[in-house]
Structure 1
Amino acid sequence: MTKKNKKRILRIALLVGTVVSLFFVPWLLVKAWILPLPDTIQEQADEAIGHGFDGMIVYVDQTGKPPQYIASGWHNKASKIPANPHALFKIASISKLYNAVAVTKLVSDGRLSLDKTIADYLPELVNRIENADKITLRLMIQHRSGIPNYTDAPNFWANPLGYEESLALILDKPANFEPGEDYEYCNTNYLLIGKIMDNALGYSNFQFVKEKILEPLHLNNTFGSISEVNIDDVMSGYHVGHPFDLKTDDYGMLATAEDVGTFLRALNDGSLFEPGEQDIYTSIYEYEHAGWVPGYQSFAKYHKDIDAVTIEFYSTTDPKLYNWNLSEIINSRIVKILKKQQEQ
């Protein structure tokens, strides 16, 4: 089957899946919420598979306890390969945490300024992005720029695009609001931030991430693209109503749950930063994140009250994001299990 036909099928699947989801998923959310709480995270992961997820990975790093590596369902459904807790996974927008740290380090080094604008850094976009002379690097990091979100373009997810093609989707469009006057999560902000970092560095910003974040933390299982890995190491991803495995689509960073957990621990305890950097980071971005691309949902969070990092990966998505809501319910139950275990 040609790539063009696969894209057409994915677009149709988005519509079909929407109709199917409307009839079935809300009741599943209620069921997931009211079921008795299992004794273990493994049981909860197995329960998630019963709710319709094809595969799930959980990593827990809780101070004073050995790390937990949990998997349930399929690594590859077609080949009947069981889920592997050490598999690579597309972490989607969790990568924004790494980008924000990279910006922090470049600002600390004096190579970037949070108060310079798109007009300063990307003058070619003046008159192509509204308010380019007012939108600062700080506002882009914080999703307060007002720039339209390129991933909201119709059928965007059926066709992964490069920088120029993605940017073209929002050029010459009106701003959604004046810079700094509102908040709207926007992937275009980080598309532009990546370009700004590339220009300041003179090389790929992911190489900088690798040198300043991944290597110091010994994160050997974090990668910038699907092209850098053995595809068999990547957990398969599935979208409701779409018949094909989506793991070969290139949507940015991949990592194991353990690597993401190690990064998140270092981010939250400050060991990732040089003197003065954490104050900069705290002023511009958050300390937890989630991510979504077709076939992949990912969550990374630190729970201060139990001093635990939890990473959850789900290998099934749906058009109406009911599976996202279901994931959040399961995540909350995992934390309840950890708290219950701590009390025993």
Structure 2
Amino acid sequence: MTKKQRILIIRIVLLVGTAISMFFVPWILVRILITPLPDTVQEQVDKSIKYGLDGIIVYVDEAGKEPGFYAAGWKNRENKIPADPHSLFKIASISKLYDAVAITKLVHQGRLSLDKTLAGYFPELVGRIQYTDKITLRMLVQHRSGIPNLTDTPNFWIDPPASSQEALERVLDLPADFGPGKKYRYSNTNYLLISLLIEKVTGEDKFQFIKDEILDPLGLKNTFGSMNDENIDDVMSGYYVGIEEDIKAGDYGTKLTSMIASAEDVGIFLRALNDGSVFEDDEQEIYSSIYVYEHTGLMPGYQSIARYHKDIDAVVVMFVNTTDFEGYTWNIGTIVYNRVVRILRRQERS
């Protein structure tokens, strides 16, 4: 074994969190990483299906070039419908980027304050969530509130809440994970509260505000609040390793059901987010002070990555409709995504 190969294996061990023994390394990850990089994105996407992914979509927007659309595997495995790069997809936590932009716009409009406390916005939660008098809207957006993550509560995915209120009930009266502003810890509860706040201050459905303020100005017509807003057949099927049937119809609460979008719509939004065209006046300065410019998404049957790569001036969005309990498919998807970006960088240099 060469020195380079030894270093590569060490990196893989760190990646999958198994530093106890080389025996526990999932060798499929090693095989993917040491496989020579193919010449094209489509070749890499095709190869990904051999690694246990049911279906994959990749969208590439390189500045000065026509967008690239790539797909492989199944949109619907049972009916043998091939993956379609224009299919709708549950984008899960990528929606937090849209929420953060919505908050930015409401702050700019003077309808919200980043420094106002949770107690000020939701006095009914005083005594039910710790530190409501110290947790600010800024902390919620930045995942620095210390409020426990509702999706980590017992049986959340097995027995999902039927509504946003029921979801919130699962974390009420629980001790805080830490004091407000003391640490960073990702919590979906933060963004449930943000969704409720947007609706409280606007008097309308959160997605309607996002549509009016973000989607319509960008001309995005393939982004929806949930599957209830669009033909379910247009949505890519979702699969969980060990479960044979399609799980895309799973409903995790009316306010928790994922936004759906095409990869192209997500890519156009992400480009506008990064170049500032989604903002007006000093909105981008506000946004930059509170949130990030890229995101991933993960929920049963669906994983996604949306990032802008400044060095090649490219937005790359990847959707994969396969997840599992151990996280192997997430690691596989991450490696495939990184290899796609490497191919684009190599092409840029040539």
Say whether 1:96 aligns with 2:96: yes
1:140–1:193 Cα contact (<8 Å) kept: yes
Counterpart of 1:151 in structure 2 is: 151
The within-5 A match list for 1:113-262 is 113-161=113-161, 162-250=163-251, 251-262=257-268
Of 312, 317, 320, 2:318 maps to 312
Say whether 1:322 aligns with 2:328: yes
- Say which SS state the counterpart of residue 260 (structure 1) adopts: helix
- Say which SS state the counterpart of residue 158 (structure 1) adopts: coil
Alpha-carbon distance in 1 for matches of 2:110, 2:264:
32
1:25–1:322 Cα contact (<8 Å) kept: no
Counterpart of 2:26 in structure 1 is: 26
Q: Percent identity?
A: 61
Instruction: In structure 1, give the amino acid aligned to 2:188.
Output: N
Instruction: In structure 1, give the amino acid aligned to 2:171.
Output: I
Alpha-carbon distance in 2 for matches of 1:165, 1:157:
13
Counterpart of 2:341 in structure 1 is: 335
Q: Taking CA–CA contacts closer than 8 Å with sequence separation of 6 or more, which of the two structures ends up with the larger relative contact order?
A: 1
1:127-159 deviations in whole A, cap 9, x for unaligned? Answer: 000001100000000000000000001221234
The within-5 A match list for 1:2-151 is 26-151=26-151
Alpha-carbon distance in 2 for matches of 1:164, 1:217:
32
1:219-265 deviations in whole A, cap 9, x for unaligned? Answer: 10000011011111000000011122111123220000000000000
- Say which SS state the counterpart of residue 217 (structure 2) adopts: coil
Query: How far 1:328 moved relative to its partner?
Result: 1.1
Instruction: In structure 1, give the amino acid aligned to 2:306.
Output: A
Alpha-carbon distance in 1 for matches of 2:25, 2:202:
47
Instruction: In structure 2, give the amino acid aligned to 1:239.
Output: Y
1:160–1:249 Cα contact (<8 Å) kept: no
Alpha-carbon distance in 1 for matches of 2:341, 2:146:
35
Name the TM-score, length of structure 1 as normaliser.
0.92
Instruction: In structure 2, give the amino acid aligned to 1:275.
Output: D
Counterpart of 2:12 in structure 1 is: none
Instruction: In structure 2, give the amino acid aligned to 1:81.
Output: I
Alpha-carbon distance in 2 for matches of 1:310, 1:154:
35
1:135-194 deviations in whole A, cap 9, x for unaligned? Answer: 000000000000000000122123442211110111000000000000000000000011
The within-5 A match list for 1:273-288 is 273-288=279-294
Counterpart of 2:300 in structure 1 is: 294
Query: How far 1:24 moved relative to its partner?
Result: 9.1
- Say which SS state the counterpart of residue 156 (structure 1) adopts: coil
Name the TM-score, length of structure 2 as normaliser.
0.90
CA RMSD in angstroms comes to 1.1
Query: How far 1:320 moved relative to its partner?
Result: 1.5
1:59–1:257 Cα contact (<8 Å) kept: yes
- Say which SS state the counterpart of residue 127 (structure 2) adopts: coil
Query: How far 1:324 moved relative to its partner?
Result: 1.1
Instruction: In structure 1, give the amino acid aligned to 2:95.
Output: S
1:94–1:289 Cα contact (<8 Å) kept: yes
Query: How far 1:322 moved relative to its partner?
Result: 1.6
Query: How far 1:28 moved relative to its partner?
Result: 1.0
Alpha-carbon distance in 2 for matches of 1:310, 1:254:
17
- Say which SS state the counterpart of residue 174 (structure 2) adopts: coil
1:90-147 deviations in whole A, cap 9, x for unaligned? Answer: 0000000000000000000000000011100011000000001100000000000000
Alpha-carbon distance in 2 for matches of 1:240, 1:277:
42
Instruction: In structure 1, give the amino acid aligned to 2:169.
Output: A
Instruction: In structure 2, give the amino acid aligned to 1:254.
Output: I
- Say which SS state the counterpart of residue 195 (structure 1) adopts: helix
1:60-82 deviations in whole A, cap 9, x for unaligned? Answer: 00001111000000000000000
1:22-47 deviations in whole A, cap 9, x for unaligned? Answer: x9981111111111101111111111
Counterpart of 1:10 in structure 2 is: none
Counterpart of 1:13 in structure 2 is: none
Unaligned residue ranges in structure 1 (runs of 5+): 1-22
Instruction: In structure 1, give the amino acid aligned to 2:283.
Output: E
Runs of 4+ in 1 over 6 A off after TM superposition: none
